[in-house]
Amino acid sequence: MKKDSDDKLLFRNAMQGVKPLKQDTYAPQKEKVNIRKQVLQDVRKTEDVLFFFSDNYEPLLNEDDKVRYLRDGEDNHLLKQLRRGDFSPEIFLDLHGVTKKQAKLELAALLLACEKDHFFCASIMTGYGTFTLKNQIPRWLVQHPRVRALHQAPREWGGDAAILVLLDI
């Protein structure tokens, strides 16, 4: 008990003459704007946005290894940069718990948002689950003319459960 009172006395003596800080800074409240819903509505209005995503197209992707794709005419160094995490995603899309049909709409909305806001790198979280989306998303992405390269994300951006996409904006 004596030690407790000695500590309090020491603290009071150390704090003698100290003025309390006045909270005079203002932290503005961020407006909650749901850009995703607006972009998704824009996608639904435009009938030809989903034109690029065929379910029947089978690209030559090496699916035994990490997911990767490089558009013809692009520098091979882009894949290495994506793999190392040299590009930081400016926008993220989480597809956990969505159906294949919803994922297609969300992916179209993401690409439209990237084009509209001039984002050149995006991360798509596919998760593991049944591997349906993990296998299908790259097949859709390689069909889009704006996709320059894609690679399985490095650990800090989602690892095996995510894909980094580099776009031509």
- Rounded distance between C-alpha atoms, residue 68 and residue 151, angstroms: 4
Q: How far is CA 45 from CA 6, 83, 99, 105, 144, in A?
A: 72, 35, 20, 12, 19
Mean pLDDT of the chain: 78
Spatial CA neighbour of 118 closest among 143, 90, 140, 149 = 90
Q: For residues 88 and 131, which has the higher predicted lDDT (pLDDT)?
A: 88
Band (51; pLDDT cuts 50, 70, 90):
low
Tokens at residue 44, please? 């639904």
pLDDT at 30 over 70: no
Burial class (CB in 10 A: 0-12, 13-18, 19+), 153: buried
Band (52; pLDDT cuts 50, 70, 90):
low
Q: Note the pLDDT tens digit of each residue in 97-127.
A: 888 888 888 888 888 888 888 899 999 988 7
pTM (2 decimals)?
Answer: 0.65
Burial class (CB in 10 A: 0-12, 13-18, 19+), 39: buried
Strand-strand pairing, 91-94 and 121-125: parallel
% the chain with pLDDT above 70: 75
